[in-house]
């Protein structure tokens, strides 16, 4: 597309040359007709703001497009123009905070993929709140569908979330030692699967160092305390050490033991955990059977899955807590709550992860693409179906516009016997595997016109999406969908000596991610009676007290614990059969569907505008 921007019906298209392109805000302020000026994002933003002020109806701007096409940058421009339109009538400090939250969330929610060096791995719905006069008085961020699996696994040439790299590049040597951090090459989740260096060159390291300083400054400017920031660094460090725990099969117990317990000791020190409890939670599990606790030892795969599930849960809860802290800092003050009874005019901007089609497409791409199918249906409904219905209601004749309706595809995924229902059903069977899952897909979905059954690959299935054909590799689907934390692991985390960690693993909301606790009220590191040690951390502390120095123990406590458990099992169960852990927690797809429905409900209550970012790659894609 030669133009930076262009209009198509009620849709604004953005070409590659338009991303990040700015012009004078005032030029597109209060422009009544779009043909008065060349097409631009600012006109869409200005129209949404004007409609908000004139019609009293909530507005929503949906930004869509392929991954890497420029959605996030477009969203920033839209927000900046709407805030500019509120002008002197607004709180300048609040406006700056709103603008600065975007790069902060990118640092924790974005990552490098093979298509985009700054790819959003979560969906963001930013709600701006205004008074009747158009004054901006607050904002709220809703986060959706964080790709938490990226914490523990990423593809060749890709990375985990940005801030892990910023941490190593930004912290001084003494502070790294404070968090027990060593050479970044020694951490499993930072390594390139193809053997490349964590920091491929000096310029990359310098960039990450600069970003660390920038993000830390932003956190302080928007209102994070030193203790808040320190807690973020602590949890990130704990995740790095946790994912370095390695298991080996124990022939004597037929379970597993931890090869080197030093990373485990570090995690317990950082998170205020009881080492024996965490050890037991990683190598064993328990179920309640007829009111009695039945314990079983984990095998090698189960122990690795348990470790990774905890790492993902820690990061997901950290990210949600950061969002909660941001929302606390951006919320309207009490005076406006009293005047407007918490009912404001709102203008929201949706920035969802774009449609993805990689060389290898896994469970994450499936969820992202299904979310985009729903957004495409929402677009079709408003641009074509409702427009046509309005014409007919007003008695105006119009030609029927042909478009690709994807309602049948949504039913293929969300229906009673759809792909997600089949995935959940198979996830409930302990003996199920990825091959049996795909066979179930083939059996129930092969007659659907959008479903593809590839030849010669037992773990592959394909879908004709609105944006093109995608072949998915189902290896790992079941494990990623289960993603369940064992009951004794949740119990261990709930008994953390650090109140925030304990709280994050005892909240019972299940579906909502954001926490209701503020760290500023409980830090520095309040330690409960569960932990004999007391700890206070400051951003500027460079060395831990002697009592916190960790010495590598010669005796392997996990082997000792496994032997003790095995003895107890034999005494308890003469047949020596090991019960399977029951599947009782909600799956990732259950959370996905609830989260997606919440998002769509918010959008349905607003008058929409649409922006689509077009990448040059999309022009060459064909079905």
More confident residue, 363 or 9: 363
| Claim to verify: residue 34 and residue 144 sit in the same structural domain | yes
Q: With bands split at pLDDT 50, 70 and 90, how would you rate the model's confidence at 330?
A: very high
Residue 54 lies in a domain: yes
Task: Specify the CATH number for the domain of residue 146.
Answer: 3.40.850.10
**pTM of the predicted model, to two decimals?**
0.86
* Contacts within 8 Å (CB) and 24+ apart, 586-591: 586/510, 586/511, 587/423, 587/424, 587/427, 587/481, 587/482, 587/483, 588/363, 588/367, 588/480, 588/481, 588/482, 588/483, 589/367, 589/420, 589/423, 589/424, 589/481, 590/424, 591/511
Q: Based on the domain organization, do 34 and 128 belong to the same domain?
A: yes
Q: Which residue has the higher pLDDT, 463 or 31?
A: 463
Number of domains making up the chain: 3
Are 115 and 233 within one domain? no
Domain match, 331 and 341 both? no
Query: 114 and 23 in one domain?
Result: yes
Average pLDDT, the chain: 83
Task: Identify the active-site residue in 15, 18, 68, 123.
Answer: 68
Q: Say which range, 19-33, 299-313, 355-369, 563-577, has the weakest mean pLDDT.
A: 563-577
Percent of the chain with pLDDT over 70: 78
How far apart are the C-alpha atoms of 95 and 221, rounded to whole Å? Answer: 12
Q: Is 584 a catalytic residue?
A: no
pLDDT at 335 over 60: no
Q: How confident is the model at residue 568 (pLDDT cuts 50, 70, 90)?
A: low
pLDDT of residue 614: 79
Known active-site residue 67:
yes
Does position 191 have pLDDT exceeding 60, yes or no?
yes
> Mind listing the pLDDT tens digit for each residue in 503-555?
999 865 444 444 344 433 333 334 344 443 334 344 444 445 444 466 655 56
For residue 419, tell me if it sits in a domain: yes
| More confident site: 122 or 616 | 122
pLDDT tens per residue, range 269-312: 999 999 999 999 999 987 666 667 778 899 999 999 999 999 99
Q: Do residues 330 and 353 both lie within one domain?
A: no
Q: Which of 119, 244, 284, 348 is catalytic?
A: 119
- Catalytic site residue 73? no
- Say if residue 449 is in the same domain as residue 496: no
pLDDT by residue (tens digit) across 243-254? 999 999 988 888
Statement to judge: residues 492 and 406 lie in one domain: no
CATH no. for residue 540?
A: 1.20.120.720
Confidence of residue 193 (pLDDT cuts 50, 70, 90): confident
Residue 573 confidence (pLDDT) above 80? no
- Active-site residue, from 67, 304, 488, 496: 67
pLDDT at position 334 = 60
Q: Do 523 and 407 fall within a single domain?
A: no
Q: Which member of 147, 356, 373, 479 is catalytic?
A: 356
- pLDDT of 150 higher than 50: yes
Which segments within 158-280 are labelled E, that is strand? 247-250, 255-258
To the query of whether residue 55 is one of the catalytic residues in this protein, the response is no
- pLDDT confidence of residue 3: 64
Domain membership of residue 478 (yes or no) is no
Please give the pLDDT value at position 91: 75
Q: Which residue has the higher pLDDT, 453 or 565?
A: 453
590 lies in some domain: no
Specify the higher pLDDT residue, 266 or 386.
266
536 catalytic residue (yes or no): no
Catalytic residue among 58, 101, 116, 595: 116
**CATH code at position 391:** 1.20.58.530
Q: Which of 354, 514, 537, 587 is catalytic?
A: 354
584-617 pLDDT, tens digit per residue, is 468 999 999 999 999 999 998 899 999 988 765 5
Q: Are strands 468-473 and 5-8 parallel, antiparallel or unpaired?
A: unpaired
**367 in any annotated domain:** yes
Confidence of residue 204 (pLDDT cuts 50, 70, 90): very high
Q: Is 476 annotated as catalytic? A: no
**pLDDT of the residue at 616:** 57
- Model pLDDT, residue 333: 74
pLDDT at 166: 98
Distance CA 183, CA 432 (A): 39
> φ, ψ for residue 7 (rounded to 5)?
-105, 145
Residue 138 falls in the annotated catalytic set: no
| Domain region containing 39 | 5-151+336-373+596-619
> Which of these is catalytic: 58, 64, 72, 285?
72
pLDDT value at 164 more than 90: yes
> Is 46 a domain residue?
yes
Q: Answer whether residue 445 is part of any domain.
A: yes
- Strand 468-473 to 460-465 pairing: antiparallel
Residues 569 and 497 in one domain: yes
At residue 480, does pLDDT exceed 70? Answer: yes
pLDDT bucket at 337, cuts 50 / 70 / 90: low
Residue 274 lies in a domain: yes
Residue 601: per-residue pLDDT:
93
137 and 243 within one domain: no
Active site residue: 74, 110, 113, 120, which one? Answer: 120
- How sure is the predictor about 401, in pLDDT bands with cuts at 50, 70 and 90? low
Q: Are residues 341 and 397 in the same domain?
A: no
Q: Is position 120 annotated as part of the catalytic site?
A: yes
CA-CA distance, 331 to 341, in Å (whole number)? 13
What confidence score (pLDDT) does residue 25 get? 83
Q: How far apart are CA 468 and CA 620, in angstroms?
A: 11
Contact 280, 296 (CB under 8 A): no
């Amino acid at each position: 597309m030669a133009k930076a921007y262009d209009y198509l019906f009620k849709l604004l298209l953005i070409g590659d040359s338009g991303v990040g392109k700015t012009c004078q805000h005032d030029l597109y302020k209060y422009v009544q007709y779009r043909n008065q000026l060349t097409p631009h994002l600012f006109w869409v933003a200005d129209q949404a703001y004007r409609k908000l002020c004139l019609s009293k109806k909530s507005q929503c701007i949906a930004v869509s497009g392929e991954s890497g096409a420029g959605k996030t940058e477009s969203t920033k421009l839209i927000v900046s123009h709407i805030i500019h339109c509120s002008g002197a009538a607004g709180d300048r400090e609040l406006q700056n905070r709103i603008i600065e939250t975007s790069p902060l969330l990118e640092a924790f929610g974005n990552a490098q993929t093979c298509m985009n060096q700054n790819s959003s791995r979560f969906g963001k719905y930013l709600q701006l709140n205004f008074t009747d006069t158009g004054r901006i008085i607050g904002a709220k961020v809703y986060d959706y569908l964080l790709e938490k699996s990226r914490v523990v696994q990423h593809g060749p040439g890709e990375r985990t979330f940005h801030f892990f790299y910023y941490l190593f590049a930004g912290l001084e040597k003494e502070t790294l030692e404070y968090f027990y951090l060593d050479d970044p090459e020694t951490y499993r989740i930072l390594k390139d699967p193809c053997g490349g260096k964590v920091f491929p060159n000096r310029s990359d390291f310098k960039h990450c160092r600069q970003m660390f300083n920038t993000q830390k400054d932003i956190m302080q400017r928007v209102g994070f305390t030193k203790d808040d920031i320190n807690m973020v660094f602590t949890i990130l460090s704990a995740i790095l050490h946790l994912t370095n725990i390695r298991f080996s099969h124990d022939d004597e117990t037929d379970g597993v033991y931890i090869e080197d317990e030093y990373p485990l000791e570090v995690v317990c020190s950082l998170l205020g955990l009881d080492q024996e409890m965490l050890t037991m939670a990683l190598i064993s599990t328990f179920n309640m059977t007829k009111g009695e606790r039945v314990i079983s030892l984990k095998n090698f795969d189960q122990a690795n899955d348990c470790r990774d599930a905890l790492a993902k849960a820690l990061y997901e809860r950290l990210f949600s807590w950061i969002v909660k802290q941001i929302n606390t800092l951006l919320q309207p003050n009490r005076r406006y709550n009293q005047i407007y009874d918490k009912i404001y005019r709102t203008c929201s901007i949706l920035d969802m992860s774009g449609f993805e089609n990689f060389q290898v497409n896994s469970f994450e791409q499936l969820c992202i693409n299904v979310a985009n199918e729903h957004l495409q249906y929402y677009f079709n409904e408003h641009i074509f179906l409702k427009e046509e219905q309005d014409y007919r209601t007003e008695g105006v004749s119009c030609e029927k516009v042909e478009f690709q309706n994807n309602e049948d595809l949504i039913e293929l995924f969300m229906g009673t016997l759809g792909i997600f229902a089949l995935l959940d059903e198979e996830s409930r069977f302990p003996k199920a595997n990825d091959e049996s899952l795909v066979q179930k897909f083939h059996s129930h979905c092969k007659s659907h016109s959008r479903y593809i059954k590839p030849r010669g690959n037992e773990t592959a299935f394909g879908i004709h999406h609105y944006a093109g054909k995608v072949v998915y590799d189902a290896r790992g689907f079941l494990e990623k969908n289960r993603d369940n934390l064992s009951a004794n692991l949740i119990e261990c985390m709930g008994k953390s000596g650090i109140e925030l960690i304990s709280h994050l693993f005892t909240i019972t909301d299940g579906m909502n991610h954001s926490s209701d606790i503020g760290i500023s009220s409980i830090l520095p590191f309040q330690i409960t009676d569960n932990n004999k040690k007391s700890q206070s951390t400051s951003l500027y502390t460079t060395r831990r007290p002697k009592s916190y120095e960790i010495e590598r123990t010669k005796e392997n406590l996990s082997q000792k614990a496994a032997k003790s458990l095995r003895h107890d099992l034999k005494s308890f169960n003469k047949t020596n059969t090991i019960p399977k852990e029951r599947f009782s927690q909600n799956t990732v797809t259950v959370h996905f569907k609830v989260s997606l429905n919440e998002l769509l409900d918010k959008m349905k209550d607003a008058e929409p505008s649409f922006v689509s970012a077009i990448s040059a790659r999309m022009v060459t894609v064909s079905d």
